[in-house]
Amino acid sequence: MQKTVERPLSPQLCHRARGEDTFPVEWRPLDGRERFAVRATWPADHPFFAPLGRGDERCHDPLLVVETLRQSTMALLHAAHGMPLTRHILLGEISLSCDPAGLAVAGEDVDIEVRFTELVSRGGELSRMRVEWTVRRAAGVVATGGADARFAGPGAYRRLRGGHVEPGVVRPGPDARRIPADRTGRTRPEDVLLAPGDRADAWELVVDTGHPTLFQRPNDHIPGMLFLEAARQAATAAAWPRPFVPAELRIAFHRYAEFDGGPCLLRAEPGSTAGSVRVTGHQEGEPLFSCALRSG
């Protein structure tokens, strides 16, 4: 039987501009067009997705896991399913459940099984998908998750977005008003996405389009992954001074957040189970996202 050759993945396929921010390395099919194996590498150090903790207790950031899975999915849509790079991806929901102990910084290669449980085409083009992920290290499962999304071509996307199809203007950089980094689980002030709000459990989103990791390409709206990071920071700030490392998270995106709209306001409130926090975001009174997180 002929051995399946693993195929390399490029930053472009992963929607990244820089190799150091591209975590999937190669892929191979497992079962037709539905199941794939992806090998990824998690850096022992990264300016933004840095490990959490200190010394022998350091673990990889769960949001690095989410970013790796997101990149893997986009790359497979292009490399295995032939989706054009010009097609727009409209995220609906992302979920992750992980074992923080299994994310210890030791042996950085990880194996990911990507399963497309739903692939819908319209007019010969992919229009909708549902994906599920299983992440293994040393043959043990350390994380599972999933996502759903819709796709739109340039014409449909322009109609959907109305007048909001040009990249947004540059927003405040490192000098923007922000809460202290340690309250968000961050070490660098420039990575903080929360500005003080009008109450202890509310904040205004800081949008820094010059951030080298969060904004690598021109955007005509505030990206969803920015909200996931902001939600994690809000949950961490709400739990402070207790540590907050997400073992479970689920974020649902409700509408686009516009660069030329009003400020994006975030609020955190206790979740329904111990150690959980619910974070919501609004712009001009309209819901942007809702995110449930639970600390491990």
- Per DSSP, which regions of 192-285 are E strands? 194-196, 202-205, 246-253, 264-270, 276-283
pLDDT for 171 equals 60
Please answer whether residues 182 and 174 qualify as being in contact, where contact means their C-beta atoms are separated by less than 8 angstroms: no
- Give the integer Cα–Cα distance in Å for 213 and 3: 37
Decide if domain 163-295 falls under CATH 1.20.1070.10.
no
Is 163-295 the same fold as 7-160?
yes
Strand, helix or coil for residue 142:
strand
* Residue 128 CB partners (closer than 8 Å, separation 6+): 118, 119, 120, 148, 149, 150, 151
CATH fold of 7-160: Thiol Ester Dehydrase; Chain A (3.10.129)
The C-alpha atoms of residue 114 and residue 77 are separated, in whole angstroms, by 11
Instruction: Locate the domains of the chain by residue range.
Output: 7-160, 163-295
pLDDT at site 2: 43
Task: Express each pLDDT in 118-159 by its tens digit.
Answer: 999 998 999 999 999 999 998 799 999 999 999 999 989 988
Q: Which of 47, 67, 81, 114 minimizes the C-alpha distance to 224? A: 67
Identify the pLDDT of residue 32: 80
What is the identity of the amino acid at 119? L
Q: How far apart are CA 67 and CA 83, in angstroms?
A: 20
Instruction: Report how far apart the first and last C-alpha atoms of the chain are (Å, whole number).
Output: 44
Residue with tokens 């992920």: 133
Nearest to 230 by CA among 273, 267, 261, 189: 267
What was the pLDDT predicted at 146?
Answer: 98
Task: Assess whether the previous peptide bond of 8 is cis (omega < 30° from 0).
Answer: no
Residue at token pair 């040009």: 166
165 has a pLDDT exceeding 80: no
Predicted confidence band at 175 (pLDDT cuts at 50, 70, 90)? Answer: low
Q: How confident is the model at residue 1 (pLDDT cuts 50, 70, 90)?
A: very low
Size of the chain, expressed as the number of residues it contains: 296
The encoded tokens of residue 128 equal 């909708």
Summarised one tens digit per residue, pLDDT across range 247-287 is: 999 999 999 999 888 999 999 999 989 999 999 999 999 99
The answer to whether the beta carbons of residues 284 and 245 sit under 8 Å apart is no
* More confident of the two residues 259 and 235: 235
pLDDT per position as a tens digit, 55-100:
778 899 999 999 999 999 999 999 999 999 999 999 999 999 999 8
Residue 193, pLDDT above cutoff 80: yes
Return the structure tokens found at 267: 């609020």
Q: What local confidence, expressed as pLDDT, does residue 31 receive?
A: 84
pLDDT-based confidence at residue 101 (cuts at 50, 70, 90): confident
The closest alpha carbon to 73, from 105, 103, 107, 117, belongs to: 117
Which pair of tokens denotes residue 287?
Answer: 């819901």
Query: Which contiguous run of DSSP H or E holds residue 68?
Result: helix 62-79
Lowest mean pLDDT among 6-10, 79-83, 109-113: 6-10
Please say if the pLDDT value at position 294 is more than 60.
yes
